[in-house]
Amino acid sequence: MMRLLRKPFLVFVLITVAGLSRLTAQTSSDSMELVDLEAYEIQSEYRFDDLKIDTSSSQLNENLLGIYGSTQLQDLSGLAPNLSFINSDTRGFGDILSMRGSANSLFFSAPSVGLYVDGVPGGSVSTYPGELDNIASVVIRSGSQSTLYGRNASAGIIDIRTRRPGDATRAALQLEYGDYDTQVAKALVDGPISDTVAYSASVGYKAHEGYIDNIAAGDTEDDRESIHAKLNFYLNPSDDTEMRFGVFAEEVDDGATRLSSLLSPDPYQVSSNVRGVTQLDRLQLNFQFRKQLDAGELTATSSYQDWDLNPSLTELDLSPYDFGFSRVLQDEAVFSQEFKFVSSPDNSSTRYTVGLFYFDSSTDGDATREFPVPPSDFVPPGFVQNERTLFEIDNQNIALFANATTAVSDKVSLNYGIRADQNRSSIHRTKTASNNFGYPSPQDPVVDESQSETEGSATIGLTFDAGEGLEFILRSSLSQKPEGYSGYTANPNFIQFDSEHMISYEAGINYMTPDEAIETSVVVFVNDTDNYQFERTVPYSTDFAVENAENVSAEGIEGKMVINPAGGLFFDFQAGLVDARFDKHLDAFGNDVSGKHVPFIPKYTLRMGVRCEWQ
């Protein structure tokens, strides 16, 4: 189970962590303070502020992540109302992330819910990092955030901040062992190197045997193993300037996706002659420059990420016979550059954010499928078809965005924002087909297309402070997701999909009791989406493509409540309900599915927690 520990880069990072710990111990031994981190989290006093709530945002710190056992990004599902992850069990590849009834498609559409980690935007949802280590805070913002962030976020954003080094060296080590040969090892160290240089480093390793037995191979089918490392250096040449250099690496060596036959008497047994595997490598480099000016703070963030799935191999028949398999190799390279200026919270009645964003992604896919074709008048028994698809899809985005909040009076504030996007996309695709009989097979035409568009987004909201802890919020937004291409079809009716446009309305209240022992919020929302993007199979083929539903509506309600009746006793409750339906759409066979539920959108989410501390 320790194959990944032989990887040279990750071994180098392990040595670096140990070396930095020794270096800082030598350079700051007089003031060194080691913090004992039980369960790999900073143990601080639990406070009411840890659970502070708002109508359209959920804040999670290390305390709350520990309470809910959230160690992976997918564990955030349900921790904010109407936030959901549909896990494909291939380390993010093919995952669906939804909020308030809006979601990405399996493979080819842009995210509806954006992700930022320390100011670095994510690429496609398939490439979002999985592990949540060394986390200081997670802020989940519901509703369109397109005028606040460079990366477009039509339905919401997940903004993660990792722990920054302090004035003293801090170190932690966690080791676990359990059933199914579960092995967990995590280490972190951070602190100063000199008066102007600091660092943070963390490494995590996790592995366990599978739960499904492969009778044919005499072994478990779905073993899991991964290792990741993160290293940041901070340079402060002056009091008003900071630079950060960061690198993040991850390697995964998993077994098969957890699939078993519905006809099997034991769902935890298969008899496969093809050993499934999911292997991927990730390398991310980032640089951030922050300058404090009299008028506000200027931040420039550059990042590059290469995510390489090589391969994802799945047996399609789950039998000892050569009936079928799927092998996917996919690489996504992303470069982004963001400039953002946030005005200072001075005596001005208006505080604003303006920014410029550039995003460039290139996805190379190589997918092979082999499967039997049922015999017919034209197909002999034992006929096996082999299809290989190669594609390159490029997407570019340039955006200008601005958001401001103006205090109209002592009780009323107005929030407004605007965004302009220039999007370009292109595809080059080929597909070859063959069979075990050597018969001629129809070949797909070569696809070589490009397109561009200009889009806009806007938001406006009003907050009214009614006094005595009561606050009312109204908000409306126009948002969009860009057009694009599907890599698994050459059908001219499906190769291209249109941009998605959503108008949303929400109204909410916040209330806190005079003694601040109870805080609650309720928000209702309605989303109306034209050209809703979702993925489906193409009839009478093996193709898979993004399609636009003419109109989709989502209506919902979100409620949050925190109760602190006494001392160290805390009750935390958050729930969401959303009803997302096709208002106007014909399915693949021309049937009217208006009124049917949109796929992959859970109707309910619920979060409940109780914490009691004795001094």
Per residue in 441-477, pLDDT (tens digit) is 889 999 999 999 999 999 999 999 999 999 999 999 9
Q: For the ranges 44-53, 383-392, 532-541, which has the lowest average pLDDT?
A: 44-53
Strands (E), 6-75: 53-54, 57-61
Number of domains in the chain: 1
Question: Whole-angstrom Cα distance, residue 553 to residue 549?
Answer: 11
> What values do phi and psi take at 203, rounded to 5?
-140, 140
Average pLDDT, the chain: 90
pLDDT classification of 316: cutoffs 50, 70, 90? confident
Please write down the HEC assignment for all residues of 415-441. Answer: EEEEEEEEEEEEEEEEEEEEECCCCCC
Structural contact between residues 491 and 545, judged by C-beta atoms closer than 8 angstroms: yes
Closest CA to 24 of 142, 183, 178, 193: 193
In 3D space, the residue among 22, 99, 101 whose CA is nearest the CA of residue 58 turns out to be: 99
Please determine, for residue 41, whether its predicted confidence score (pLDDT) is greater than 70. no
Mean pLDDT of 250-263: 91
Provide the pLDDT confidence category of residue 20 given band limits of 50, 70 and 90.
Answer: low
**What pLDDT band is residue 2 in, cutting at 50, 70 and 90?**
very low
Q: Of the given ranges (187-201, 229-243, 258-272, 500-514), which has the lowest mean pLDDT?
A: 258-272
> What span, in angstroms and rounded, lies between the C-alpha atoms of 542 and 486?
13
Work out whether strand 213-214 and strand 269-270 pair parallel, antiparallel, or are unpaired.
parallel
Res 23: pLDDT: 53
pTM of the model: 0.91
Mapping DSSP to helix (H, G, I), strand (E, B) and coil, where does residue 20 land? helix
C-alpha 59/C-alpha 100 separation (Å) is: 17
Question: Using 50, 70 and 90 to split pLDDT, how confident is the model at 429?
Answer: very high
* Residues spanned by the domain of 564: 3-612
* pLDDT tier, 278 (very low <50, low <70, confident <90, very high otherwise): very high
Please tell me whether residue 216 adopts helix, strand or coil conformation: coil
Q: What is the pLDDT of residues 334-376, one digit of tens each?
A: 999 999 999 998 778 899 999 999 999 999 999 999 999 999 9
48-58 pLDDT per residue, tens: 445 555 667 88
DSSP state string for 454-486: EEEEEEEEEEEEEETTEEEEEEEEEEEE--EE-
Cα separation, 602 vs 70, in Å, equals 20
Mean pLDDT score, 573-588: 95
pLDDT at 67: 80
44 compared with 409, residue with greater pLDDT: 409
Q: What is the mean pLDDT of residues 524-544?
A: 94
Whole-number Å distance between alpha carbons of 227 and 214: 25
Specify the pLDDT at position 14.
54
Total count of residues recorded for the chain: 615
Cis peptide before 311 (omega within 30 of 0): yes
Per-residue tokens: 526: 């309605």
Question: CATH number of the domain that 155 lies in?
Answer: 2.40.170.20
The torsion angles phi and psi of 62, rounded to 5 degrees, stand at -60, -30
Tokens of 315: 């047996």
Percent of all residues in the chain with a pLDDT value above 90, rounded to a whole number: 76
- Tens of pLDDT, residues 61-104: 877 787 888 889 999 999 999 999 999 999 999 999 999 999 99
Helix and strand counts by DSSP (H, E) for the chain:
2, 32
Please report, rounded to a whole number, the percentage of residues in the chain having pLDDT higher than 70: 91
